[in-house]
Amino acid sequence: MTKRPHQPSAVSRPHAEPPRRLARLALSAAFASMSLLGATRACLAEQRLICWGFQVFDQDLMRNAVSIGVGSFHSMALRADGSLVSWGIPDATFTSDPRDRTHVRQAVGGYFHTIALHDDGTVSLLGIPSISEIRPPSDLSHVRSISGNTYHWMAVLDDDTVRAFGSNSSQQVTVPSDLPPVRASDCGYSHSIVLLQSGAIRAWGSNTRGQCTVPATLGMATQVAAGPTHSLALGVDGLVTAWGGNTMGECNVPVTLGPCKQISGGRGSGGNASLALRVDGTVACWGDVQPVPPDGLVNVVQVAAGEDFAVALQATGNVVAWGWSANGQCGVGNGRRAVQVATGVRHGLSLLEDGTVAAWGANSVMVGGRSGSVEVPTGLTDVVRVAAGTYHSIAVRRDGSVVCWGLNTDKQCNVPAGTAGVVSAAGGDRHTAVMRTDGSVTGWGNSYVPAPGGATPAISIACTNSSTMVVRPSGAIAIWGRASSASESMRPGDLTDATQLAGGSDHVVALRSTGQVLSWGSNARGQATTPAGLPAATQVAAGPRHSIALHADGRVSAWGDNKGESLAADSMQSTVPGWVRNVTFVAGMEAQTVLLMDVSDCDADGIEDSWTIQRGVWDMNRNWVPDSCERTFGDLDMTGVIDLGDIALIMMDFGPCAGCPTDLDGNGVVDMGDVSLLLVAFGPTA
């Protein structure tokens, strides 16, 4: 299975407040202590593609849990009565016999399926196995414990022997004939590991990353765990040791970890994380930082790591899940949030947290007598990244495939057969370019120019109208395309520490590792003239003729065209209103700057709204929303209480600020008059 691009964290927790409330609770005078935004900044700095916040569990489903389990893309919980409940990939929860969900004492998930161990020592298969070998042997009984990963399983029997079944591509289910009595087991993607009754450890199967080479210095253990290509052991002293593949730092055990009582490695081919439950009931995670435990997670009694998500069971019976949740494996949300935005010239795409896509803006275009629509293809799901060309749209799916739609005058939407392993994409005027998991770049469309020698591997990709651009692992950049492109001919020659590129019609905006922003190329509207003294940025974006920078404090800067071309002359896309803050993602289109902000579902369509700046504030469905969801007068941070946080927001905007929500008296200036009005209303707003 192809590893999808790393995704930033979604967080689910029981009895949580609504997402918009949680995201605002930490507002302070300087916004420096916003832990949620801080996590989002880290996501963007590490070139992660999607960020979102809290979801809310269906607690009727999740009460009274006594044990938990995970698969690649689903989660499970056992109740005190032995019943099994699950959520995530629908096929993983399917079973034709309801008895498979009763009298269960352990459940472990694989890829689209679950193995349930019953009280009588028999096992059941739930879901649809991807290979026939996954089905448990018909005579399997007297099972004490079960372990598995994507495609193979091990059962420890009551007589301390092991039976294994499933894929044997690396001899991972070929149990050594001289294996001593076994206490417990776990499975990696294609290797197996067991804890012997003596406390020693044995492993077999794939050893390409050293995952089966048990450290010679490792003493007696009390538990073993496995990730895709790494292994973990919990020593008798409570200390954790990890070895094997270390692609994401999953073997770098934190020096401050301390004594632990349980360990877990991620599932699937992409669960490159390690999870540990400390003796004090708190949780630590390292490696792929996707599943960062939520703040305040305490009293935990069991943990389990899936592919880019994790689940914890608290002593109260509540289940907490966090991480990638496009398939619902982190619970049932109370609304879909826009988590990434891509823009063409007059249309935009919002990637929603459930892996679907919403389109907005101009519904169709006519170029050269041919038309293309922005309407999203029916049934498009499991999307992890969206991109847009001038008049066409691109979606990268979790399995590495690509879907394109819209204007196709130059075959920019003709995805070549067999295109796979894609993690990111970008669109030009009449071409599409994609980056694969190995950093190679390819594309299509009559105007696509293949990558020159030495341009790849790449770690990120972008396009201007006629050029393709990449950042290489070293931080150097490569740009190629039509020889007449100003973005190519005017590029700086000494840029060796780039982390991101963004392209307009024929200009480029680059972000350096220091946060410095550079821009070059066509400069007729000043779009390539980076403002002097621009604060350090965490992300950059570009419209056709203007440039945008997102700063660490959630504020935005823009420069270049401020009037638009074919749209209204008062678009003001480079004039960022003073009230804009808490921004997590920026994009640009003709005569508009697009922001993902901390806002609510203002139009009650089930999608937490994103915003564009064009003669006011609009949500992605282009519904006029006055004053950011019509805030309660004076409750500027929307916490339900008018307090010092609201006064701090006023002080941040002190001075001329026409149209700001902090201008409470509407005189065009945020001043002591507004502070006075706020003091009159000080206290709860209800």
Q: What is the mean pLDDT of residues 187-198?
A: 96
The CATH code of the domain at 63-323 is 2.130.10.30
More confident residue, 420 or 379: 420
Question: Using CA atoms, how far apart are residues 15 and 294, in angstroms rounded to an integer?
Answer: 14
**Residues of each domain in the chain carrying CATH 2.130.10.30:** 63-323, 336-630
DSSP, collapsed to helix, strand or coil, labels residue 107 as: strand
355-383 pLDDT, tens digit each: 888 777 665 554 444 445 667 888 898 88
Which pLDDT does position 5 carry in this prediction? 28
Q: Does 83 score more than 60 pLDDT?
A: yes
Q: Does 49 score more than 60 pLDDT?
A: no
Within its chain, how far is the Cα of 75 from the centroid? Answer: 18
Which pLDDT does position 410 carry in this prediction? 93
**In this structure, are strands 123-127 and 113-118 parallel, antiparallel, or unpaired?**
antiparallel
Which pLDDT does position 500 carry in this prediction? 94
Per-residue pLDDT band for 32 (boundaries 50, 70, 90) equals: very low
Range among 461-475, 477-491, 662-676 rated most confident: 461-475
Which pLDDT does position 415 carry in this prediction? 97
Which pLDDT does position 630 carry in this prediction? 41
563-622 pLDDT, tens digit each: 654 333 344 566 676 556 667 778 887 777 777 765 544 444 555 544 443 333 334 333
Question: Using CA atoms, how far apart are residues 357 and 398, in angstroms rounded to an integer?
Answer: 13
Q: Does 185 score more than 50 pLDDT?
A: yes
Min mean pLDDT across 239-253, 471-485, 609-623, 672-686 is at 609-623
Q: Does 195 score more than 60 pLDDT?
A: yes
Which pLDDT does position 46 carry in this prediction? 22
Q: What is the mean pLDDT of the chain?
A: 78
Question: Using CA atoms, how far apart are residues 456 and 207, in angstroms rounded to an integer?
Answer: 29
Q: What is the mean pLDDT of residues 619-633?
A: 42
Q: What SS3 string covers 465-511?
A: CCEEEEECCCCCEEEEECCCCHHHHCCCCCCCCEEEEEECCCEEEEE
**Residues of each domain in the chain carrying CATH 1.10.1330:** 641-684
Q: Does 10 score more than 60 pLDDT?
A: no
Which pLDDT does position 473 carry in this prediction? 92
User: Which residues neighbour 438 within 8 Å (Cβ) at sequence distance 6 or greater?
Assistant: 421, 457
Q: What is the mean pLDDT of residues 175-191?
A: 96
Which pLDDT does position 307 carry in this prediction? 84
Q: Does 454 score more than 70 pLDDT?
A: yes
Strand ranges of the sheet holding 477-481, from the earlier edge strand across to the other edge:
460-463, 467-471, 477-481
More confident residue, 324 or 679: 679
Q: Which pTM does this prediction carry? A: 0.48
User: Which residues neighbour 672 within 8 Å (Cβ) at sequence distance 6 or greater?
Assistant: none
Which pLDDT does position 281 carry in this prediction? 94
Residue 594 is classified by DSSP as E
Percent pLDDT > 70 in the chain is 74
Which pLDDT does position 344 carry in this prediction? 87
Q: Is 579 left (phi over 0), alpha (psi -120 to 50) or beta?
A: alpha
Q: Does 234 score more than 90 pLDDT?
A: yes
Which pLDDT does position 422 carry in this prediction? 94
Q: Quick one: CA dihedral 411, 6, 439, 338, positive or negative?
A: positive
**Is-contact 670 58, C-beta < 8 A?**
no
Which pLDDT does position 39 carry in this prediction? 23
Strand segments (E) across 158-308: 162-166, 182-187, 191-196, 201-205, 221-226, 230-235, 240-244, 260-265, 273-278, 283-287, 300-305
265-280 pLDDT, tens digit each: 988 887 889 999 999 9
Which pLDDT does position 205 carry in this prediction? 97
Which pLDDT does position 126 carry in this prediction? 87
The CATH code of the domain at 641-684 is 1.10.1330
More confident residue, 192 or 482: 192
Token pair, residue 68, equals 């938990």
Range among 41-55, 96-110, 399-413 rated most confident: 399-413
Per-residue pLDDT band for 190 (boundaries 50, 70, 90) equals: very high
Question: Using CA atoms, how far apart are residues 201 and 235, in angstroms rounded to an integer?
Answer: 11
Q: What is the mean pLDDT of residues 13-30?
A: 24
More confident residue, 574 or 515: 515
Which pLDDT does position 640 carry in this prediction? 66
Per-residue pLDDT band for 645 (boundaries 50, 70, 90) equals: confident
Per-residue pLDDT band for 222 (boundaries 50, 70, 90) equals: very high
Q: What is the mean pLDDT of residues 182-191?
A: 96
Q: What is the mean pLDDT of residues 299-319?
A: 86
Which pLDDT does position 627 carry in this prediction? 35
Q: Does 650 score more than 90 pLDDT?
A: no
- Quick one: CATH architecture of 336-630? 7 Propeller (2.130)
DSSP, collapsed to helix, strand or coil, labels residue 157 as: strand
